[in-house]
Amino acid sequence: MTVTWDDLLSAALLGTGRRTPPIPPRPGQDGAAALLDAAALHTVRRRAGLRPAVVRERPGVAPEDPRPEPPPAARRRLALLLADRSAPGQGGGRRGAAPDLTELLPQWLAAADRHGYRAPAPLLPALLEAGRARTDLRAAALTLGGPRARWLAGLNPQWKYALRAGPDGSPPVRRSAGAPAGGGDAEAAQRLWEEGLFAERVSALAALRRRDPAAGRELLAGTWAAERAEDRLMFLDGLRPELSPDDEPFLERALSDRSRNVRATAAELLTALPGSALAARMAERARSCVALERTDGAVRIVVEAPHECDKGMQRDGVSPKPPNGRGERSWWLTQVVAATPPAVWCERFGGLGPEEVVALPVADGWQPDLHAAWCRAAVRQRDAAWSRALLGPATAPPTAEGSSWKDPARLLSALEPGERAEWVADFVAVHGLSDAFRLLGVCAVPWAEPLGRAVVDALDIARDAGSYPWSFSGVMGLAERCLDPAQADRLEVLTALPEDSPEPAGAPGAAAYWSEAFQRLVGTLRLRATMWAELAG
């Protein structure tokens, strides 16, 4: 009987205790040893029996990258971070006091990009492998790797992701084998748009829109009629980052598209343009639904929701069928109001400001629907005044997630970073950290001093209250990445166990876990400070 490599592999995977090895052992030898000997023999036989591969053409010379390499200390740091990126994590609630280097790698890459460095050539394979393993690292890894990383990726199929986009998201220019490396030209970009893979075309459109929004729009318009519906949807969504009033005529034509999803996306983009014709049509509809009523000296808002969803409303992006559990008229109303510029209501209600409008009572239980629509409109059009009014004071009691029309995290995104940090700092100071995770996630990094101080104080209060730190693991992880490293000295005092701690030796409780968590936080902040100093040279 001939024993194949697959027979040996199956026996090894199942284990000799569950499957008898296909090779009988020699006298005095157990089954596992016989299996390993046979595998070694087959390995040598397979290697010796390989047929010579066809000689491939020598690859072209790697392109030049004029950017400087990081200073020596920073290069060593990058090597350590890349070597540690695949280290197994410590599961469970207790992570130890050592910093998590896998979370520091994205910050190092972003900081190196701000300095304008390129990746050291010997570290390019590890950098590409890191991007292959973690999609969140790819953009930063390719920025640091530059043209040499893409050249190297062309020699290894496992790194093909790097060939789909350039360092700034632009597509790579295809070259024939042996062609000199270097930049492409407009003809190559046009050819890629016409002949490239879908991911390459998306990247091409995004890159062109960043350089020349009008040219990108015209490129898409040239092939729009021939694109598949799902592709039209993705390309249309790619107009969002550089959206401007110049895009309105193209988007208006897209409102008549064959695909319902394309029409809905075009309508959504048009509502982000306060001066668009669609916004004016929606404002007219909204005015007929919402009015101010004065009765016996009392002022309130009255609502008469639409009675039908006509073809004009559907063309402008109003979906006629509501989700399960939602009434039709309520559904149509919120869509119309959400697409109306918020400034319309100040004019509609006699020049009242956003805070005054939001404070008005709403008749017949329509307040949640109306305010939820105002929230969406304020966020969509980045209206800071209305977002501020709908947020209300940070001291107000938070509502359970999903139980209210208010979404503070989304409303905060429409405010300037400084105001956002101050609002969240006040919220944390009053309500603690239990409801603050999503709010902290929308704040600029590193956290401004009022916010950083509020988070540290709240963690100290939670420790003194006897809570376990893994109840705040999400906030602790954010603090390691987002706190200003200057906070490390202030946190040092929290790393020590209280002298009157009642915890017995060998049986650590909350105080010991908090001490460990603060040690890790302080260590991470100091390591981040060291990284910035190394990159600065």
- Do the domain assignments include residue 61? no
- As a whole number of angstroms, the distance between CA 243 and CA 326 comes to 32
- Do the domain assignments include residue 59? no
What whole-number percentage of the chain has pLDDT above 70?
A: 89
- Do the domain assignments include residue 173? no
Task: Look at residue 57 in the predicted model and tell me its pLDDT.
Answer: 83
* Same-domain pairing of 395 and 305: yes
* Same-domain pairing of 393 and 497: no
* Same-domain pairing of 279 and 265: no
- 328 has pLDDT over 60: yes
Task: Look at residue 64 in the predicted model and tell me its pLDDT.
Answer: 93
Helices of type H across 53-137? 72-84, 101-115, 124-133
- As a whole number of angstroms, the distance between CA 224 and CA 195 comes to 15
Q: Which two tokens stand for residue 522?
A: 């302080």
* Same-domain pairing of 188 and 106: no
Q: How many CA atoms lie within 13 A of 111 on its CB side?
A: 23
Task: Look at residue 453 in the predicted model and tell me its pLDDT.
Answer: 92
Are the C-beta atoms of residues 439 and 412 closer than 8 Å to each other?
yes
Q: Which helix H or strand E contains 27, and what residues bound it?
A: none
Task: Look at residue 314 in the predicted model and tell me its pLDDT.
Answer: 94
- As a whole number of angstroms, the distance between CA 125 and CA 117 comes to 17
Query: Which range, 88-97, 359-368, 513-522, has the best average confidence (pLDDT)?
Result: 359-368
Could you check whether the bond before residue 172 is cis, i.e. omega within 30 degrees of 0? no
Lowest mean pLDDT among 165-179, 192-206, 492-506: 165-179
Of residues 508 and 203, the one with the higher pLDDT is: 203
- Do the domain assignments include residue 429? yes
* Same-domain pairing of 311 and 397: yes
- Do the domain assignments include residue 428? yes
- Do the domain assignments include residue 191? yes
Q: Which of 247, 273, 299 is the last residue of a domain?
A: 273
* Same-domain pairing of 111 and 198: no
* Same-domain pairing of 120 and 146: yes
The alpha carbon of 13 is separated from its chain's Cα centroid by a whole number of angstroms, namely 39
Q: Residue 210: which domain range?
A: 184-273
Q: Helix (H, G, I), strand (E, B), or coil: what is residue 274?
A: coil
Count: domains in the chain: 5
* Same-domain pairing of 203 and 227: yes
- Do the domain assignments include residue 174? no
Task: Look at residue 50 in the predicted model and tell me its pLDDT.
Answer: 63
Assign 501 a pLDDT band (cuts: 50, 70, 90).
low
* Same-domain pairing of 260 and 198: yes
* Same-domain pairing of 447 and 483: yes
* Average pLDDT estimate for 133-154: 92
Task: Look at residue 500 in the predicted model and tell me its pLDDT.
Answer: 57
Q: Which of 273, 301, 334 is the last residue of a domain?
A: 273
Q: Which of 221, 256, 273 is the last residue of a domain?
A: 273
* Same-domain pairing of 462 and 530: yes
Contacts of 334 (CB under 8 A, 6+ apart): 369, 370, 372, 373, 376
- Do the domain assignments include residue 175? no
- As a whole number of angstroms, the distance between CA 465 and CA 446 comes to 27
Predicted confidence (pLDDT) per residue in 174-213, tens digit: 443 333 333 444 666 678 888 888 877 888 888 889 889 9
* Same-domain pairing of 322 and 396: yes
Q: Which two tokens stand for residue 104?
A: 């520091």
